[in-house]
Amino acid sequence: MLRDALPGVIRTLQAEEESILPKLRRSVDSNEKSNKEVARLKKERNELRDKARPKLARLKQLRVSIDESGGMITLEPKWAKERLEEKITEIENKIETQALDHKAEGSLIAARSQLLKENEMWLQSRKESNPAVVEYIATRKEMSSLFKKADKKHAAMVELSEKGRPNYSKRITLEQEHKEIRKQLDRAMELEMQSDASVKYWEEVVKNGFKKGAGHDLLQNSRRVGEGGIASFATKAKKRKPPKKNPKGAKGGEEE
C-alpha cells in the first residue's frame, strides 16, 4: 500500500534534500559575491563618468570662448620645442666632445640652465596671455583620465558578469530542483499524517482515476447537479428531515 511505502519515500526525499542543500548554498553564496563585485564596479564606473561629464560640458564652453577670441593656439609649438632641443643638444655635444676646463664647462652648464629658464618663462607668458587655452588643456586631460578609468571599470564589470553567468544558471537549476524535492517531501509527509481512509481514497484515484475510483461519487453528484437534480448528500439530508406537523392539529391552535 501507499502508506507502507511513504516512510521510504520520505527518507529518500530527505536524503536528496540534504545532498542538494550544500550545493545550493555554495552556488547562492558565489553568485551573490559576484553580484556584489559587479555592483561595486558599476558604482565606481558611474561615479567616474559623473565626474567626467561636467568637464566635457566645460570643454564645449571653453571651445566657444577660444574660437571667439581668435582660435586655439599651441602653447608650445613644434618649432619652439625643436629650437630648444637643438640648442641643448649643441651644448651637450660641446661638454662631451671638447676638452674643457672647469670654468668653460661651468659656462656651458650655466648657458643650458639659462636656456631652460627662458623657455619656461616664455611658456608661462603664453599661458598667462591665454588662460582659456590653459584651462582647456588641463580640463581635457582630466576628462580623458576619468573616462579611461571608467572604461577600465566597465570592462572589468562586463568580464566578471560574463564569468558569473554559468554559476547563475546553476543556481537557478539547483533552486528549481530543491523546490520540487521540497514539494514532494511536504506532500509525502502530509499523506503520512492523513487517515487510512484518506490514503485509501488516493490509492483508488491513482489506480482507477476519478471516474471509476474513489472519486466516483463526486463525479456522479457533479453530473446529477449538471442535469438539474440535487447532489446525493442533499437527497440524504432531505430523507432525514422530519415531516412538518399540521398546524390545525397542534395544541394551542386558534379556534375557528
* Backbone φ/ψ region at 70: left (φ over 0), alpha (ψ -120 to 50), beta: left
Residue 211 has a pLDDT of: 54
Predicted confidence (pLDDT) per residue in 11-70, tens digit:
998 999 999 999 999 999 999 999 999 999 999 999 999 999 898 888 888 888 777 776
Residue 73 has a pLDDT of: 58
Residue 38 has a pLDDT of: 94
Instruction: Judge whether residue 9 has pLDDT over 80.
Output: yes
Distance CA 190, CA 193 (A): 5
Residue 160 has a pLDDT of: 93
Considering the entire predicted model, what is its pTM?
A: 0.53
Distance CA 40, CA 161 (A): 12
Residue 253's pLDDT band (cuts 50, 70, 90): very low
Average pLDDT of the residues of the chain: 75
Q: Which of 113, 94, 114 is nearest to 104 (CA)?
A: 94
Predicted confidence (pLDDT) per residue in 130-153, tens digit:
788 778 888 888 999 999 999 999
> Which one has a higher pLDDT value, 18 or 84?
18
